[in-house]
Amino acid sequence: MNRLRPFVFHQPTTLDEAVRILAAERGAARPLAGGTDLVVDMKLGRARPPVVVNLKRIRGLDRIEPVDGGTRIGALVRIAAIQASAIVRERYPALWRASCTLATPPIRNLATIGGNLGRGSPAGDMAPPLIVHGALVEVEGPGGRRTVPIQDLHLGPGITCLAPGEVITAVVLPAPPPHGGSAFRKLGKRGGGWDIALVGAAAGLVLGGDGAIADARIALASVAPTPFRARAAEAALRGRPPSEEHFARAAGIAAEEARPISDVRASAAYRRSLARVLVLRTLRDAAGLALDAAVPR
């Protein structure tokens, strides 16, 4: 790796100050959280920001807290803290599972949820489960605070809808539905988790009183320019019984909705085939949890 090029380093202690500095640089400045993407990119010369704004001295952005029946996860919450959270583990299984498979423990101790989303990678592990959980992204910028549905955050590879000066401050997850279950799976080049996804898949199912699927959500990473919802596959599941036949059909539809590319890591055909397999497995996992939740105790 190369040495870092010189840059101006700011360490604001308030959000207002961070936003003011970032806005003044009109997009030339980059916020820094855990640095596991940004510092690597800077060392490799893929990013050359003249100004870097460290967010980590801003208080209050590193908490997981209850809000209106749901849960608010601050942008500076580290992936290791999500993995360690009993609230996330019990209420948001897809997100919890994704936190267990993002990189290795040393990276998870630095990497933040805000940085994972802010990077705008089509392969990031946090977006698919957050889409399935129906998360909203809180954003603060020169124009004040706004909220963005997670599926609208990413516009293309490395591109988010954030305007210059805007930073992600939190993600807000609604209360999980009763009789619901969710799951996440991914496969990386090394054959398991711990690695950037060749394909990442999350699924969420809600069962109605009649035992049929009342709602379904499926989200995929690394098979399109952005993480996306496989809406046709979701529609094929609603009102159907949670059976292997319907899961297999939906997984095939989701794979057709994908727009994978071939690159050094995998061919488009392999990614599409893998998407089908992973969606099928996440649907089975999610159904298992939903059926368990539906059993009277």
| Cβ closest to ligand FAD, residue 127 vs residue 207 | 127
User: Are 197 and 222 spatial neighbours (Cβ–Cβ below 8 Å)?
Assistant: yes
Cβ 252 to ligand FAD, closest distance in Å?
26
Task: Please state the φ and ψ torsions of residue 146, each to the nearest 5 degrees.
Answer: -145, 170
The residue to which tokens 């805000």 are assigned:
114
| Cβ closest to ligand FAD, residue 114 vs residue 181 | 114
Nearest to 171, CA basis, from 230, 113, 106: 113
| Cβ closest to ligand FAD, residue 135 vs residue 216 | 135
Question: Among all residues, whose Cβ is closest to ligand FAD?
Answer: 115
Nearest to 173, CA basis, from 137, 126, 220: 137
Cβ 3 to ligand FAD, closest distance in Å?
18
| Cβ closest to ligand FAD, residue 216 vs residue 278 | 278
Cβ 107 to ligand FAD, closest distance in Å?
5
Cβ 33 to ligand FAD, closest distance in Å?
3
Give the tokens for residue 66: 């209850």
| Cβ closest to ligand FAD, residue 85 vs residue 116 | 116
- Helix ranges (DSSP H) in 85-228: 86-91, 93-101, 105-108, 113-119, 127-132
Cβ 259 to ligand FAD, closest distance in Å?
19
The residue to which tokens 């992204």 are assigned:
137
Residue numbers at the binding site for ligand FAD (CB under 6 A): 30-38, 40, 55, 75, 79, 102-103, 107, 110-112, 114-116, 118-119, 124-125, 162, 167-168, 195-196
| Cβ closest to ligand FAD, residue 48 vs residue 292 | 48
Cβ 133 to ligand FAD, closest distance in Å?
16
The residue to which tokens 């089908």 are assigned:
276
DSSP per residue, 73-116: EETT-BHHHHHH-HHHHHH-HHHHHHHHHSS-HHHHTT-BHHHH
CB neighbour list of residue 164: distance below 8 Å, 6 or more residues apart = 22, 23, 25, 26, 27
